[in-house]
Amino acid sequence: MNALVVVPTTTWYLMLSAVLFTIGTVGVLVRRNPLVMFMCIELMLNAVNLTFVTLGRRLNDIDGQAIVFFVLVVAAAEVVVGLGIIVAIMRRRSGITVDDLAELKG
């Protein structure tokens, strides 16, 4: 019948994005496992991507989508380097947390 069709508005998407970003931020701040922190950062990046796409569609502007590709590329590169470092560290000192990695402090 007259099914209740809920059309998601821009605001919903932005809310979702904000929630994802906050989860990511809190994760980075409270977790100590480097791998988890890394995943949280990815979460933050994708929250931002979602914002870009949403607003790109809303404003009818292709730039929003274009920039997402850049973010993806950069994120991919970052993952390669970051994961490489994390794995290397983990091999040498297993079970380590980021708080233990303070050799370069001032």
Question: What residues between 53 and 72 interact with another protein by CB under 8 A?
Answer: none
Query: Does the footprint of another protein cover residue 104 (CB under 8 A)?
Result: yes
Choose which of 16, 28, 36, 96 interacts with another protein (CB under 8 A).
Answer: 28
Q: How far is CA 10 from CA 7, 16, 34, 55, in A?
A: 10, 10, 34, 8
**Rule CB under 8 A: is residue 11 a binding residue for another protein?**
no
For residues 42 and 83, is the Cβ–Cβ distance under 8 A? no
- Of 4, 5, 6, 29, which lies in the binding site for another protein, with binding defined by CB under 8 A? 29
Q: Which of 62, 77, 87, 101 binds another protein (CB under 8 A)?
A: 101
Q: What is the largest CA-CA distance in the chain?
A: 68
Residue 6 CB, shortest distance to another protein, in Å, is 30
Write the burial class of residue 37 (CB in 10 Å: 0-12 exposed, 13-18 middle, 19+ buried).
buried
Rounded distance between C-alpha atoms, residue 7 and residue 30, angstroms: 36
Which residues would be at the binding site for another protein (CB under 8 A)? 25, 28-30, 32, 37, 98-99, 101-106
